[in-house]
A and B are shown apart, each in its own frame.
Chain A
Amino acid sequence: MNALRRHRALSRIWASDPGFRGWFTTVNHNDVGRMFIVTSVFFFLVGGILAMLIRAQLATPRSAFVGPEIYNQIFTMHGTIMMFLFAIPLIEGVAIYLLPKLLGTRDLAYPRLTAFGYWCYVFGGSMLLFSLLVGIAPDSGWFLYPPLSSTLGQPGINSDFWLLGITFVEISAIAAAVEITVTVLRYRAPGMSLTRMPVLAWYLLVTVVMILTGFPPLILGSILLELERAFGMPFFQVEHGGDSLLWQHLFWLFGHPEVYIIFLPAAGVISTILPVMARTTLLGYGWVVAAAIALGVLSFGLWVHHMYVTGIPHMGVAFFSAASTLVAVPTAVQVFAWIGTLWKGQPQLRLPMLWILGFFVTFVIGGLTGVMVAIVPFDAQVHDTYFIVAHLHYVLVGGFVFPMMAALYYWLPHVTGRKRFFKLGEAAFWLIFLGFHVTFLALHWVGLLGMRRRIYTFDSGQGWELVNLISSIGGFVATIGFGLVLVDIIVNAVVATRGVRNPWGAGTLEWAMPTPPPAYTFASLPSVSERDPLLKEPRLGVGLAKGEGFLGDPSRGRRETLCVETASGRPAYLVTFPDNSALPFALSAVTGGIFLGMLLKAYWLIPLSILGIVALGVRWVWTTGADRDRGPMDVGRGVSLIPAEEAEDPPGWWGSVFLLLADATLFGSLLFGYAFLWTVAPNWPPPSYLAPDPVAAVLAAVGGLVAVAAFRLAARALEQGGSAIGWLILAALGAGAVGAAAISVMVARPDFTAHAYDATLWVIAGYVLLHAALAVLMALFLAARGWLGFLGPRRRGPVRVGQIWADYLLVVAAIGLGAAWLPGAFA
């Protein structure tokens, strides 16, 4: 088979549906990655227009352009859109598009999940966009502090759009994070050990693990605040045992890591592009990897530095001041590793490099002002002033937008297959770079002169007028620059001539394929023996197209790739990806029913949606697996591997592990909230405790243990060639008993509006109940699969997936119900 016939055969297998329909059924990372990127750029434009409205309003004192009601919506939505609907989805889109190519594989771990995440993002984002268009957008600032955002300060529907829309969008972040984690750890080219991974893969791994552990506190906070607003559960109402500070802790437990979730992928982009622009390799790969990981973890220990002025005792804020200064060190390691790389090589001032220089200038200033506000007494003066506004824009624009512009121009030839012809990009760079600094540099000073953020207009006579006028002019200059970039991209994508395959002479694998990339990415998978394979073997792509790598034979007619062992990169098993499907679109639409039901207070929609989710979910999982043992199969180059469903640790197991990491973080945040209210909220302890219920306790303990044991016995029965059905039904009964015990807690304390204690008991019990229901569903599903012959002596993987969910149920039931009953037992 020659390269052209292989290309045709693979294209047929991997092709998305033609035409309009293909948009809704594609699961290919090339398509979904680009859809993510384009949609996030759309939201960037919306957020940018809002920024222009802000600067128009503040250009002169006592402006009558908009009043406070509209202005409050504008700045709230500007922050919300830029953080949640632009930055994070853009990162997801770039990661989805690039990662399989960097790692030398053909797609992400769960292609349908990629598409599902995209549609959740579109639907959730649309909710927020709708609220903006009709003028009922959230208006309490992007961090939505209650009581202002709760029913006391905002009795309308505005805050609900935020809480529900953002939570809907977060589903896509969690989905992308799970699959990127599994992809980096398992879906790589054979031979690509962890230390041979491109440095960007390390950065993305750190980023997505941070999403898995950083987003759940916000999701929990949003759920709690929505429950307070919709049903009067008083988590944040002090007179009923709540505390508004709980929201601030949950929000910033998310919000600070969020800043580094945005910065780290950008730093990864710089670590990738900068050495290529300097015709050398990155200085201190191991140091940079360690710095990225250190930065990721340290950033979770900084959240209170957003709360220095909330009255937390001096020593408490001192811890966070110390940690906040320390986090500058791994940042410095990276900055100096990059400058050292430039010294090591021969840097060339091409357009991506220009943007990287813009990054250095801007981000170093933002980092230095960041160290300033880490110091408590100084922060007490500038907190909530324009000094902070200027600082955060230096960090986010300098540390994210500028590197993303470098990435845009660096990978544009990959996406379009063309080389830039019209050189508008350089002019656009100078407009944006200078415009940005004109906008924000002097705003530091008006902050020090006492200008608070979020005021809709200001009086003259404080020395703020000139700075604000100049700032507004700078903002409009930068906007013209962004417009020029858009024109530049469109013109070059449409009219420029075809380019060469690896225009920058880079060493990473994404350039070892035709551009624009075919749907299958690599015609055969490379065997990797160093970090920059293309530097040693520039014609690697040609060999791969000829089928010299793994899986070059498309004769099985399926979408196939390889899973490797995590550390060594040795091939482990063969994965068959699902085909095009409308299920992701349908499932996210049905999921939207829950959010719509909450928003419109049409609560009948919620059980209906849950039924729909279960039905579609069963349908989704049903299509995986095989009805017979297939045994090892040829994957090319003389290697045979078992298929994924016969592995002890199939992809579903890995996905479950990391989904449970996020789930456990959510549960941990819930327990933190419980303990926090207990120690800090003024109206505690509650008037009375839940009386322990021995019957329910025994039911939960026995049921949980039975479920855990029955899953293991089911796996063993399969291994010995027997049937697992009986054990699986027993497991379902055990999990059901745990669910019944959880319900007993709710029944015992029916009034969840009485005290935050009661409301918390309901949420803990509801959480246990949800996991019991999941375990029941999984056990019954597996029993049905077993009955139809989809489980076998080699095909035990699905049971092992169910088993870890049952194990998790036992843990949360023990901790959750224990936390509910123990105080009453000791009282």
Chain B
Amino acid sequence: MTEILRISVPMTFWLAAFSAVYGLQGFICSRHWFEAEVEGLTVARMALVGAWLLVIAVQVAMLAMLRAERWASPEPTMRFVSVTLAVVALVAAVWSLVPVATTSICY
């Protein structure tokens, strides 16, 4: 079961985080008080970018854990698969949430 968790947790976390940021964006667009501005940036933009950075940080931490002797799989192929999937999850977190920084929020 531990091996199954090693290969499934980073990607599953990406999915949960991705859906959560999408939910946050939907919530922001249904309420208007996020439009307040602080130094040229809206609160909405800061919340979304902050969430994005947080997700990336967690993915990096999980990748580091899966490479550390203490948590890494003892079996070479499983180790390769689990680390590869943690990298995929990190790339997915950066890639799929890029719009928080580049795209207008509620049009």
Chains A, B in direct contact (C-beta < 8 Å): yes
Chain A contact residues, CB within 8 Å of chain B: 185, 193-195, 285-287, 289-290, 293-294, 297-298, 300-301, 304, 312-316, 318-323, 326, 330, 566-567, 675, 679-680
- Known contacts A286-B77, A287-B84, A322-B98; is A293 also within 8 Å of B7 by CB? yes
Chain B neighbourhood of A314, CB < 8 A: 103-107
Contact of A316 among B26, B80, B84, B96 (CB under 8 A): B26
Q: Which candidate, B12-20, B35-43, B55-63, is the interface stretch facing chain A?
A: B12-20
* Contact yes or no, B96 A301, CB < 8 A: yes
Q: Are A315 and B99 closer than 8 Å at their CB atoms?
A: yes
With contact pairs A313-B29, A566-B1, A567-B3 given, residues A193 and B75 touching in the complex (Cβ less than 8 Å): yes
Cross-interface CB contact of A297 among B11, B98, B104, cutoff 8 Å: B11
Bound Cα distance A322, B101 (Å)? 13
Are A322 and B99 touching (Cβ within 8 A)? yes
What residue in chain A is nearest B7 (Cβ atoms)?
A293
* A304–B96 alpha-carbon span in the complex (Å): 13
With A290-B85, A316-B22, A319-B97 as contacts: A300 and B15 at CB distance below 8 Å: yes
Given known contacts A290-B88, A293-B85, A322-B98, A185 and B4 CB-to-CB distance under 8 angstroms:
yes
A375 to chain B, nearest CB (A): 13
Kindly state the separation between the CA atoms of A195 and B99 in the bound complex, as whole angstroms.
37
Interface residues of B in 1-54 (CB under 8 A from A): 1-4, 7-8, 11-12, 14-15, 18-19, 21-23, 25-27, 29-30, 48
Interface status of B72 (Cβ within 8 A of chain A): no
| Bound CA span A232–B89, Å | 43
Say if the beta carbon of B92 comes within 8 Å of chain A: yes
Interface size on B, residues (CB 8 A): 43
Specify which of B4, B30, B88, B99 is in contact with A318 (CB 8 Å cutoff): B99
> CB-nearest residue of chain B relative to A325?
B95
Residues of A within 8 A of B25 (CB): 313, 315-316, 319
Shortest Cβ distance from residue A717 to the other chain B in the assembled complex, whole angstroms = 27
Contact A286:B84 (CB < 8 A) given known A301-B19, A326-B92: yes
Query: Contact: A290 with B84, CB < 8 Å?
Result: yes
Q: List 18 A-B contacts (CB under 8 A).
A: A195-B77, A293-B11, A294-B11, A294-B85, A297-B11, A301-B15, A301-B19, A313-B107, A314-B103, A314-B105, A315-B25, A315-B104, A319-B18, A319-B96, A326-B92, A566-B1, A567-B78, A680-B26
Given contacts A298-B92, A314-B103, contact A679 B30 (CB under 8 A): yes
Q: Is B64's beta carbon under 8 Å from chain A?
A: no
Question: Which residue of chain A lies nearest to B106 when distances are taken between CB atoms in the complex?
Answer: A313
Q: Which residues of A contact B11 (CB under 8 A)?
A: 293-294, 297-298
Instruction: Give chain A's interface secondary structure class.
Output: helix
B107 touching A679 by the CB < 8 A rule? no
Closest CB in chain B relative to A147 CB, distance in Å: 22
Chain B residues with CB below 8 A from A321, complex form: 99
Cα–Cα, bound, A318→B26 (Å)? 13
**Bound state CA distance, A268 and B36, in angstroms?**
51
Shortest Cβ distance from B23 into chain A, in angstroms?
Answer: 8
> In the complex, what residue of chain B is closest to A289 when comparing beta carbons?
B81
- Cα A152 to Cα B73 with chains together (Å): 56
Collect the chain A residues with CB atoms within 8 Å of residue B96's CB.
301, 319, 322-323, 326
Most-contacted residue by chain B among A185, A312, A567 (CB, 10 A): A567
Interface contact A293-B18, CB-CB below 8 Å: no
Taking CB atoms, residues of chain B closer than 8 Å to A680 are: 26, 30
Bound-complex Cα distance A580 to B2 (A)? 36
Contact B30 A315 (CB under 8 A): no
Given contacts A319-B18, A319-B25, A326-B96, 5 further A-B contacts (CB under 8 A): A313-B107, A319-B97, A330-B88, A566-B1, A679-B30
Contact B14–A297 (Cβ < 8 Å): yes
Q: How far is the CA of A301 from the CA of B85 in the complex (A)?
A: 16
Q: Give Cα A679–Cα B26 distance, bound, in whole angstroms.
A: 8
Most buried by A among B18, B91, B106: B18
On whether the beta carbons of B81 and A290 are closer than 8 Å, the reply is yes
- B85, B88, B98, B107 pick with most chain A CB within 10 angstroms: B88
A312 cross-chain contacts in B, Cβ below 8 A: 26
With known contacts A293-B7, A313-B107, A322–B95 Cβ distance under 8 A? yes
